[in-house]
Amino acid sequence: MTTQSLKETIRRELPEIIRTDPDFLRYILDLTRREYAGRAATEDRFYELLAELRRDREEGARKWDEYKEEQNRKWDEQNRKWDAHQAEQREEFKRVHEEIMAQAQRHDRSIGALGSRWGLQSEKAFRDALAGILEKNFGVQVLNVNEYDDQGTVFGRPDQIELDVIIQNGLLLICELKSSIDKAGMYIFERKARFYEQRHQRTANRLIVISPMIDARARQVAERLGIETYGDSLEVEAL
């Protein structure tokens, strides 16, 4: 048996063995334990991230209060001198407010990503939020495609394949919108994209992953596979 055929056999049989053989599952977990953090370490990092996000939001609120006070003072002074400058100052106020609100929304989405990871918010709700930002900012429609892989191309066995697709001006963009993604998830996304391309006989112009929690090793995989990665929908380059 060749190495490739052995790999294919393992990929095909391993999921069923894991589901039916608890002892083998424990063996696999012990074997791969070094590849992922323990629950205690993950929980510590979770609370650290929450604390960092809370501090960032408090700092943003403080800066916003200072900015409002400064602008109010300037407006009182300028209103006595130049009524014509009011419109310009209001526009600047609006711009700064939108920037601060955008930053707060990014923090909210980061907290939402942590919530999805810990079961406090559904993955679908988080995906829908990211898709909504893309649709609002770029005037596109994010189509959620759910197709059946009867050949087991993606997971090594027949299963449902779900991904997001944007078709605009003849371009095809295949997206993955997730609260978090690791190295294995990046490989799975690439296989799902190739499955879609083969099924529809069309090559994607861009492969895009949007997630606020992208593992460092997953980023390396994305670079090798030509997959664009973004921490937030607002960061995506023009579609």
pLDDT tens readout for residues 200-234: 999 999 999 999 889 999 999 999 999 999 988 77
Q: Residues 186, 145: one domain? A: yes
Q: Residues 142, 219: one domain? A: yes
Kindly tell me the sign of the dihedral angle through the C-alpha atoms of 32, 34, 40, 43: negative
Can you give the pTM of this predicted structure? 0.52
DSSP H helices, 82-215, are: 86-117, 123-138, 183-200
Give the pLDDT of residue 111.
Answer: 45
Question: What span, in angstroms and rounded, lies between the C-alpha atoms of 77 and 65?
Answer: 19
Range of the domain at 217: 123-235
Q: Residues 128, 231: one domain? A: yes
Last residue of a domain, one of 55, 87, 117: 117
Give the pLDDT of residue 165.
Answer: 95
Residues whose CB is less than 8 angstroms from the CB of residue 120 and which lie 6 or more positions away in sequence, other chains included: 114
Question: What span, in angstroms and rounded, lies between the C-alpha atoms of 171 and 138?
Answer: 14
Q: Residues 164, 199: one domain? A: yes
Last residue of a domain, one of 117, 138, 167: 117
Q: Residues 172, 111: one domain? A: no
Give the pLDDT of residue 117.
Answer: 47
Q: Residues 226, 180: one domain? A: yes
Give the pLDDT of residue 22.
Answer: 79
Give the pLDDT of residue 113.
Answer: 44
Query: SS3 of 228, please?
Result: strand
Give the pLDDT of residue 120.
Answer: 39
Q: Residues 111, 138: one domain? A: no
Q: Residues 147, 171: one domain? A: yes
Within the chain, strands assigned E span 143-149, 159-168, 171-177, 206-210, 228-230
Number of domains making up the chain:
3
The CATH number for 209's domain is 3.40.1350.10
β-pair type (143-149, 159-168): antiparallel
Question: What span, in angstroms and rounded, lies between the C-alpha atoms of 230 and 214?
Answer: 9
| Residues in the chain with pLDDT values less than 70 | 1, 31-46, 83-87, 93, 96-122
